[in-house]
Amino acid sequence: MVGKSPSPADLKPKELEAVYAISRAVALSEGINQALDDIVNLTRSVFIFDNMVLYLVGENETLEPRYARVIGRGRSAEANLAWGDALANDVYHSLETMTASEQLDGWQEDRLASRFFLGIPLRLTEGILGALVFGRFGGPPYSPDQTHLAEFIASHIAQLVHRQHLVERIANLEADRRLSQLQHDFIAMITHELNTPLGFIKGYATTLLRKDTTWDENSRLEFLTVIDEEADRLRELIDDLLDSSRLQAGTLKMTFEAVRLDTLLRDIISRVQSRSDETPPRLVIKSSPVIQGDPIRLAQVFDNLLSNAAKYAPQAPVTIILEANKEQVHIIVKDEGPGIAPEHLDKIFERFYRIPDLQTAARGTGMGLFICRQIVSAHRGIINAESEPGKGAAFHITLPLSQPSVIKPGG
């Protein structure tokens, strides 16, 4: 067993220089792996070793190798982990620097079969973080001076790991803070979105029920239409909320079957046509592919894109193009509305994201495109948006084509 606290007074000038360069690398490092690479390179100039493995305490209080570097002599990092484990554990539990050696069969002829290891605990005043193990093949064994130098290097690595832990903790705290802010904003927004239709329903229903007034048939019809539409809106909001949380939790059920996309799109367009007097989208069918998919969820994606086009590009022509090659289907839903600025193109697929300027213009929750992307991903597809602001927005969906099914004779 070896070990006392490292002191710079015991180091030679060249070693001091290397240790100083190592402290600088630790201080200036941006990422732990890069800093460890730098430390290994700087250490090599003053300390002979063939490999170095850093073990850190994992979640179950067990040591796990987190970084391994092999310098040479034909060894793979994986093979060397086996010897490092035992020594790392001994060092970790004893809190002492330790050496170990082993001579494999034929070590007299093959110097690689004679191995010397040095294990150093990674200690801080706060506690022990893990162990650092150096391996050297063919000797010489580690001298007290070299052990000392290695302890110095280990103390720098301990600082580095400690700093990384702090950075991670801060990032987690920041993520928690952002999450709680997001939840707060979400509750405020959802309350507002649910209250708006509810306010209309309650207001018009109360008005209709007033005993002191009689309403003519037209007014009654108008009020009931508002109630009906707002109840639909409420249902839509609740469905979106449920879908969105099920998608997030991975519990949204999909039922896959063979789907003819041209038929699906035609059905959607006739539904749109029957619902409003606006010009229906133009459908360009260049191919009639069959895919494996959930027809209800796929229809939901196109319904959403079309209702967005109606909301954000009112009165503008909308075109749907369906094309396919041997491997995939490509569907484009494009409008000739105001379009989307480049900085928002990716973000609009995030849950609750709405483009700030448009927020007041059209009602919505920012869940639609998030749901679309999740559904398309569940079909192993991709959805993204392209836009030339002022000229319109185009949503591109690519879906893999199903393998042609083999029809068995008599089947």
Q: Which residues bind ligand ADP (CB under 6 A)?
A: 304, 308-309, 312-313, 335, 337, 340, 348, 353-355, 358, 364-370, 393
Complex with ligand ADP: residue 128 or 355, whichever CB lies closer: 355
For 94-130, letters b (16+ CB in 10 Å) and e give eeebbbbeeeeeebeeeeeebbbbbbbbbbeeeeebb
Instruction: Quote the least distance from Cβ 304 to ligand ADP, whole Å.
Output: 6
Other C-beta atoms within 10 Å of 321: how many? 17
Complex with ligand ADP: residue 260 or 363, whichever CB lies closer: 363
Instruction: Quote the least distance from Cβ 232 to ligand ADP, whole Å.
Output: 15
Complex with ligand ADP: residue 365 or 398, whichever CB lies closer: 365
Complex with ligand ADP: residue 136 or 351, whichever CB lies closer: 351
Instruction: Quote the least distance from Cβ 192 to ligand ADP, whole Å.
Output: 13
Instruction: Quote the least distance from Cβ 91 to ligand ADP, whole Å.
Output: 54
Instruction: Quote the least distance from Cβ 374 to ligand ADP, whole Å.
Output: 11
Instruction: Quote the least distance from Cβ 315 to ligand ADP, whole Å.
Output: 13
Instruction: Quote the least distance from Cβ 306 to ligand ADP, whole Å.
Output: 9
Complex with ligand ADP: residue 231 or 358, whichever CB lies closer: 358
Complex with ligand ADP: residue 15 or 243, whichever CB lies closer: 243
Complex with ligand ADP: residue 84 or 197, whichever CB lies closer: 197
